[in-house]
């Protein structure tokens, strides 16, 4: 949402920008409202697990906390950074056609989990 507001301010400040009617602006706003989807991530739970992981001293304890969160939210969490993973299908290479989960923080995190290892 912050990016949209920043874009609108930048476009509004541009002297070469075209004027638009209030009707067009309302139509645009209705369009954006119609395609908006509420996120499925429980940020409170994610933060709680992150705090517990930061306090944990044992690697096994950290993994147990991440697993508990994944089971309660039916999400697959990245083994490297703990964020939600996205299901994808390999398009090239020796694993072409195979499904896997990749980190939603890609490319800054390159964590992956094979589907057959998860199920």
| pLDDT, tens digit, 9 for 90 and up, residues 28-84 | 888 888 887 776 666 677 777 777 766 766 666 666 666 655 555 556 778 888 788
* Verdict on whether the full-model pTM lies above 0.85: no
> What percentage of the chain carries pLDDT values higher than 70?
71
Task: Transcribe the chain into DSSP letters.
Answer: -HHHHHHHHHHHH-TTPPP--HHHHHHHHHHHHHH-------HHHHHHHHHHHHH--SHHHHHHHHHHHHHHHT--B-TTT-PBEEEEE--SSTTTT-EEEEETTTTT---EEEHHHH-
pLDDT of residue 117: 47
């Amino acid at each position: 949402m912050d990016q949209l507001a920043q874009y609108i301010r930048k476009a509004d400040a541009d002297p070469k920008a075209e004027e638009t009617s209030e009707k067009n602006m309302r139509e645009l706003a209705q369009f954006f409202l119609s395609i908006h989807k509420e996120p499925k991530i429980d940020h409170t739970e994610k933060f709680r697990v992150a705090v517990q992981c930061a306090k944990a001293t044992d690697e096994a304890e950290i993994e147990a906390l991440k697993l508990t969160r994944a089971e309660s939210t039916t999400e697959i969490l990245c083994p490297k950074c703990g964020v939600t993973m996205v299901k994808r299908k390999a398009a090239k290479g020796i694993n072409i056609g195979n499904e896997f989960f990749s980190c939603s923080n890609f490319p800054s995190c390159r964590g992956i989990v094979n589907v057959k290892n998860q199920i």
